[in-house]
Amino acid sequence: MRSTKDAIVVITSPEDVTANLVIASLNERGACVARVDPADVGSGLTFGARLGGERASWSGRLRTTSRDIALEEVRAVYYRRPSPWRFETLEAQARDFAITEARHGLHGLITNLPNCRYVNNPGNISRSDYKPAQLQIAAQLGFAIPETLITNDLEAAKEFAIEHDPIVYKSFRGIPHKIEGKVATIWTQRVDSGDLDESIAVTAHMFQAEIPKHSDARVTVVGSHVFASQITSPEGMLDWRSGDWEALAHTPIRVPSSVVARLHAYLYSFGLAFGCFDFALEETEGGVEPYRWVFIECNPNGQWGWLPDAEAIADAFAHTLLEGYTV
């Protein structure tokens, strides 16, 4: 078993190809990299940590089938997408108990390591993953945002629809689920005031004034590095994620300096080192900038491996994990 010192720990599932890009870049730099999936807890992952006496910080070891990691020597953690907890051999009640204990014990330990840089800390990911928080911070920082209503009140929704026609509906999470073996989700869609009914009362809904956009932009920020692609689709789709990704055109685009400053301020406000930002680009007439950049959302743990500059983004992750960053 190989011992690691000054390790970079990548917390993710075995099949995570995006993390593979970062690991490859770290390996090229000669870094000690340990890939850990907390769901392997058991024979595939053992750990022990102590605190108290002369220890003011957690001290101990984390062992996988190929790594023996001293917790106090972990210098950085890239937190990606670990597998769901398993414990398949346990009955339902015991399984629920084991999952809760693992989450609060093991997960709580590896997300609070001393002298460790996180990209990103999962606690900050959770805090910044709520669209109401995202939109409020964006507005306070001076980003242009769509007029937005969050409600379960039918009359409020109808009033908003009439005032801002056309409007769109967006789900807050849109987590895919299986229906007859197929993956389903809810894309951004236009809504007419006549389509609204009493079912609004069942849960929370988000409606926004539709932005008459020319195209979209995906901006990936890693530490001090900013990568931006303008995204256009042949059909001019309302939600570019809903169509044929092979038909999308990605073009490098310069991000205005005022927007870049707000991007870094946004991440700082949530304690993040990384985020994938989505913008709607609205054409301007006679302005200094060709587009008005309208903030849509920021995914604090988003996918970027499909972007044309994925290799450069991976290098930025490696640099940020090894060296930290200042803006």
pLDDT, tens digit (0-9, with 9 covering 90-100), for 146-194 = 999 999 999 999 999 999 999 999 988 765 555 455 555 677 888 888 8
Triad 313, 314, 317: Cα angle to 5°? 90
Quote the pLDDT of residue 173: 78
Residue 7 CB-density burial (10 A; 0-12 exposed, 13-18 middle, 19+ buried): buried
Element (H, E) at 18: helix 17-28
What is the Cα–Cα distance from 1 to 63, expressed in whole angstroms?
9
Q: CATH 3.30.470.20 residue ranges in the chain?
A: 212-323
CA distances to 122, 170, 220 from 314, rounded to whole Å, are 19, 30, 11
What is the Cα–Cα distance from 275 to 161, expressed in whole angstroms?
31
pLDDT, tens digit (0-9, with 9 covering 90-100), for 186-227 = 778 888 888 899 999 999 999 999 999 999 999 999 999 999
Asked whether 274 and 317 are in contact (CB, 8 A), the reply is: yes
Task: Give the CATH fold of the 212-323 domain.
Answer: D-amino Acid Aminotransferase; Chain A, domain 1 (3.30.470)
What is the Cα–Cα distance from 262 to 137, expressed in whole angstroms?
10
Q: Does domain 2-119 have CATH number 3.30.530?
A: no
Quote the pLDDT of residue 285: 86
What is the Cα–Cα distance from 256 to 288, expressed in whole angstroms?
10
pLDDT by residue, tens only, the chain of 327 residues: 444 568 999 999 999 999 999 999 999 999 999 999 999 999 899 999 999 999 999 999 999 999 999 999 999 999 999 999 999 999 999 999 999 999 999 999 999 998 899 999 999 999 999 999 999 999 999 999 999 999 999 999 999 999 999 999 998 876 555 545 555 567 788 888 888 999 999 999 999 999 999 999 999 999 999 999 999 887 767 676 666 667 778 899 999 999 999 999 999 999 999 999 999 999 998 778 999 999 999 999 999 998 999 999 999 999 999 998 776
Quote the pLDDT of residue 74: 95
Q: CATH 3.40.50 residue ranges in the chain?
A: 2-119
Quote the pLDDT of residue 182: 52
Quote the pLDDT of residue 325: 77
Alpha-carbon torsion, ordered 131, 137, 143, 149, to 10 deg = 40
- Residue position matching structure tokens 């960053």: 325
